Amino acid sequence: MKDLALEALDAVAGRGVSYADVRALEIRDRDVTTKNGKAGHVSSSESRGIGIRVLASGCWGFAATDDLTRDGIARAAALALEIARSGTAARKHETTLAPEQKYEATWASPCAIDPFAIPVDRNLAVLLAVDKELRRNPAVSLAEASMHFERRRQVFASTLGSLIDQTRHTAGAGFSALSYKDGDIQRRSYPNSFGGQYQLKGYELVDELRLVENAPRVAEEAVALHTADKCPEGEFDLILDSSQLGLQIHESIGHPIELDRVLGSEANYAGMSFLTLDKLGSLQYGSPLVNVVCDARLEHGPGLGTFAFDDEGVPAQATDIIREGRFTGYMTSRETAAAVGETRSNGCMRADGWARLPLIRMTNVSLKPGRQSLEEVFGADHAIYMETNRSWSIDDKRYNFQFGCEIGWEMRGGKRVRMLKNPSYSGITTEFWNACAAIAGPEHWTLWGVPNCGKGQPEQVMGTGHGASPARFRKIRIGSAYGG
């Protein structure tokens, strides 16, 4: 791998490039799913390839190949240079990069149990045990459970002289119960929707999640939702569980702070951001309780956004994004940092494989724990509590959002008084975060993984991390998804 990366770098260095970097990757993954008592998707795959990025004639060029012969690498290198030079047909200025140091490092994420050493039949045994528990409830129409494991080794080499060998292990697992009855489809998931929990771990994640123990409750809730009252429409205090709050952070803080969006790079697809440069340091993003950090360091936790170096060779860092409610920082790259006069990138460039260019992506964007007890968070006279995301949508500048959850509860004096089906809430990003009235403490904080964040053209799918504790928000619009 190192030899491949250095060979590719040699193929472009000295050919008129002002900068070049190469990423050689080797990826192995496994997917195991079950559905209604049977194995669903059982598969494994491996992929090796190399991506070559060059800055020549003031323009970027990138070419990737899985042909790792000497000729294949030479062809990809030549194509990267041809592509860069073609960019002069529509160039406005020469691209410049914020300075960075040279690093030589080898790093591997902690992995207590190698998932690839666990045989597939053991994976299936766990998932089928979950499935059996779910389908003990005869009203469950569809029981689904899944595990996903990945090991990704990347060697990064650049003309700065950096040579970084990094291996990351990620794992994901979860299940859901769907019930169809009389023209109503309801679903409950554990520990989160859309595949469960994902972290930078090995097989130990599966053991920690206590999947089987939670299956009966999840099945019971899915079925009970059919007879639950519909979530009311109006303005209420809203309490969110930490997984839904994690997605709220992702959509209404994580994406708007991407500096490439702010500067227009994503305007044709993912969109732009309401966080124009004039708002840095002045915008009251949230209430004084709100503190948000973007932190890729291992000490933040085993998040999908945890690493030692980003994909342009910048070390993992922690950046304050919101401090006591005030907007204080963007996520940057070497190019965008230079464009706004910053002296250094804060290390957020990530690519979803060898065939894709690094983009600014969320690392772990987390809401710091508050000081309130869980009783204080839930202690409002009257509130709606929502758990587990069901739908999510936000406009292309990240102002107006609407989320739906799998289950809601009407709360009075801290007690659940009735279950609510089809709960949803909506609002404007800054109004929502300024309505934050209580955040539970660190003992209730969970670092959630979002494995499917899309961005870029061609589209890239990235895993991101979001830590949150349950929190309460004042006078939020509830129920508009079913209104009108």
Partner 1 sequence: MAAERFDAAEIFGQVVDAARALGVTEIEAMMGGGSHALTRFANNAIHQNVAEHDRHLSVRPVVDGRTARAGTNRLSREGIRAVVEQAIAITRLNEADPELLPLADSAFIPRVDRFFGTTAHATPRERALAVAEAIRVVEAAGQTAAGIYSTGESTLTLLNSRGLTATHRETMARFSITAMSVDSSGWAKASACHHADLDPVALARRAAAKATESQAPRELAPGRYTVILEPAAVLDLVGQMFGDFSATAIRDGRSFLNDRIGKKIFGDNVTIRDDASHPLQSGPPFDGEGVPRRPLMLVERGVVREIAYSRQAAAVSGVAPTGHGFPLPNELGEAPGNIAIEGGDSGVEKMVASTERGILVTRFWYIREVDPYEKIFTGMTRDGTFLVEGGRVTAGVRNFRFNESLLEMLSKVEALSPAVRASGEEAGDMVVPAMKVRDFNFTEATRF
| Nearest distance from C-beta of residue 155 to partner 1, angstroms | 17
Segment contacting partner 1 by CB under 8 A, of 6-14, 63-71, 193-201, 321-329: 63-71
Is 3 a binder of partner 1 (CB under 8 A)?
A: no
**In the bound complex, what is the minimum distance in angstroms from residue 31's beta carbon to partner 1?**
9
Distances (CA, A) of 366 to 11, 123, 243, 436, 467: 41, 31, 11, 15, 4
Query: Residues 297-316 vs partner 1: string with x where CB under 8 A?
Result: --------------------
Tell me the H-state helices in 285-410: 334-339, 374-377
Stretch that binds partner 1, among 99-107, 198-206, 323-331, 353-361 (CB under 8 A): 353-361
> Cβ 221 to partner 1, closest distance in Å?
17
Q: Mask 70-99, x = binds partner 1 (CB under 8 A)? A: -----xx--xx-xxx-xxxxxxxx------
How many residues comprise the chain?
Answer: 484
Q: Measure the CA dihedral 86/87/89/93, to 10°.
A: -150
Sole binder of partner 1 in the list 12, 64, 155, 447 (CB under 8 A): 64
Residue (101 or 276) nearer to partner 1, CB:
276
| Beta strand extents in 110-162 (DSSP E only) | 142-158
Longest dimension (CA), the chain: 71
Place of tokens 């209730």: 444
The three-state secondary structure class of 303 is: coil
Pick from 410, 387, 386: nearest CA to 189: 387
Residue (69 or 282) nearer to partner 1, CB: 69
Q: Which of 1, 6, 15, 60 binds partner 1 (CB under 8 A)?
A: 60
In the chain, the N- to C-terminal Cα span, in Å, equals: 58
Radius of gyration of the chain measured on its C-alpha atoms: 23
Q: Is the CB of residue 402 less than 8 Å from the CB of residue 424?
A: yes
- Give the binding range for partner 1 (CB under 8 A) out of 16-24, 268-276, 294-302, 468-476: 268-276
Ramachandran area for residue 387 (φ above 0: left; ψ -120 to 50: alpha; else beta): beta
Of the pair 341, 458, the CB lying nearest partner 1 is at 458
Report which residue type is found at 440. Answer: A
Rule CB under 8 A: is residue 114 a binding residue for partner 1?
no
Nearer of residues 103 and 399 to partner 1, judged by Cβ: 399
H/E stretch holding 93 reads none
357 binds partner 1 (CB under 8 A): yes
Q: Which of 317, 373, 400, 434 binds partner 1 (CB under 8 A)?
A: 400
Neighbours of 274 (CB within 10 A): 16
- Indicate whether 464 belongs to the interface with partner 1 (CB under 8 A): no
184 binds partner 1 (CB under 8 A): yes
Rule CB under 8 A: say whether 138 interacts with partner 1. no
Candidate residues 151, 201, 356, 466; the one interacting with partner 1 per rule CB under 8 A: 356
Taking the complex as a whole, the smallest distance from the CB of residue 301 to partner 1 amounts, in Å, to 28
Tell me if 399 contacts partner 1 by CB under 8 A.
yes
Catalogue the E-assigned strands of 138-296.
Answer: 142-158, 163-181, 184-190, 197-199, 229-230, 234-240, 292-295
Contact pattern for partner 1 over residues 210 through 249, marking x by CB under 8 A:
----------------------------------------
Please give the single-letter amino acid code of residue 396.
Answer: D
Residue 124 Cβ vs partner 1, minimum distance, rounded to whole Å: 6
Near partner 1 by CB under 8 A, which window of 42-50, 282-290, 316-324, 380-388? 42-50
Nearest approach in angstroms of CB 9 to partner 1 is: 18
187 in Cβ contact with 178 (< 8 Å): yes
Nearer to partner 1, 372 or 388 (CB): 388
| Residue 284 near partner 1 by CB under 8 A | no
Which residues in 245-264 contact partner 1 (CB under 8 A)?
Answer: 263-264
Contacts of 134 (CB under 8 A, 6+ apart): 140, 143, 145, 175, 177, 215, 218, 219
Total of residues contacting partner 1 (CB under 8 A): 89
- Examine residue 101 and tell whether it contacts partner 1 (CB under 8 A): no
Helices 70-86 and 2-12: crossing angle in degrees, nearest 10, is: 40
Q: 439-458: which residues touch partner 1 (CB under 8 A)?
A: 457-458
Decide: 449 and 349 in contact? Cβ < 8 Å.
Answer: no
CB 133 to partner 1: min, Å: 17
Q: 199-233: string of b/e by CB count within 10 Å (b at 16+)?
A: bbbbbbbbeebebbebbeebbbbbbbbbebeebee
Q: What is the C-alpha to C-alpha distance for residues 120 and 98, in angstroms, rounded to an integer?
A: 46
For partner 1, the binding residue among 2, 210, 269, 418 (CB under 8 A) is 269
Only one residue has tokens 């040699």, namely: 10
Site string for partner 1, 409-438 (x = CB under 8 A): -------------x-x-x-x----------
